[in-house]
Amino acid sequence: MSRLDPQIAKAVSNELESGNFPHSSDITYLKVRYARSYAGLADCKGLRFLLLVGCATEKIPPLVDHPELVQLGVSDSDVRSIEGIGAAAELHTVDLPRNGIEDLEPLLACPGLLSVDVTGNPLSDRSWEYVLPELRRRGVKVSAPTADERDLMLRMRSAGLPFAYYHRGESHRLSRPGLGLTDMPEADHVKIEPGELDRLLVEDRAALAAIFERRDLMPTLSDL
């Protein structure tokens, strides 16, 4: 086995110790948290379901190593590029919430795509105006930012604030994808409505940059 990223090694070890898979190449389901590289992931050639959470990787993993993959999930991570996603010919579900993805055009190379989630991503004009409508035209179920959410994310990024913004239920949340600003990017998503976020962007960017210190804005158990 090649040298593994420590978090990938941990996830692989957990699956092997479960007794369900004799070798890493037999593993069909893998969930990895906080990886900083994909080193060793290629050894898991039998993967059908791959979930990556809070990773410090700017690209999705090379899917040519996983020809049987049917579901890919990458959330709360630093991913900016999904180039090469079409290499997984069996892929039908792609969940990419709360990353830094602008260009969705590689999704058009996935012939069997049924469902896509790109909420919380600062999508480019072309992705917004052409790729999303084309995916919907093909019958793909698409979850994407609203126009207001996208606009706010683009403005935050222009201000040097690489936050993700999305809605859950009846409220909106702000989060910090990747490992650059927090050790647990899937946690502590603050509640803030669009009007207030817009106000802070215009009037008080320092308060917005420090908003994750506001414990009063953190979701309670009733919000989860």
String of DSSP letters for 154-177:
HHHHHTT---EEEEETTEEEEE--
Task: Report the greatest alpha carbon distance in the chain.
Answer: 58
Residue 90 DSSP SS3:
coil
Average pLDDT on 28-36 reads 97
Q: Beta partners for 167? A: 172
pLDDT at position 116 over 80: yes
CA–CA gap between residue 58 and residue 4 (Å, rounded):
18
Whole-number pLDDT of residue 1: 44
Mean pLDDT of the chain: 94
The architecture in CATH of the region 48-223 reads Alpha-Beta Horseshoe (3.80)
Q: Is residue 126 within 8 Å of residue 151, measured between CB atoms?
A: no
pTM of the model: 0.93
User: Residue 33: enclosing H or E segment and its boundaries?
Assistant: strand 29-33
CA–CA gap between residue 12 and residue 202 (Å, rounded):
46
Rounded to 10°, the helix 147-158/194-203 angle is 20
Sorting pLDDT into bands at 50, 70 and 90, what band is 217? low
CA–CA gap between residue 44 and residue 218 (Å, rounded):
37
pLDDT at position 157 over 90: yes
Whole-number pLDDT of residue 221: 40
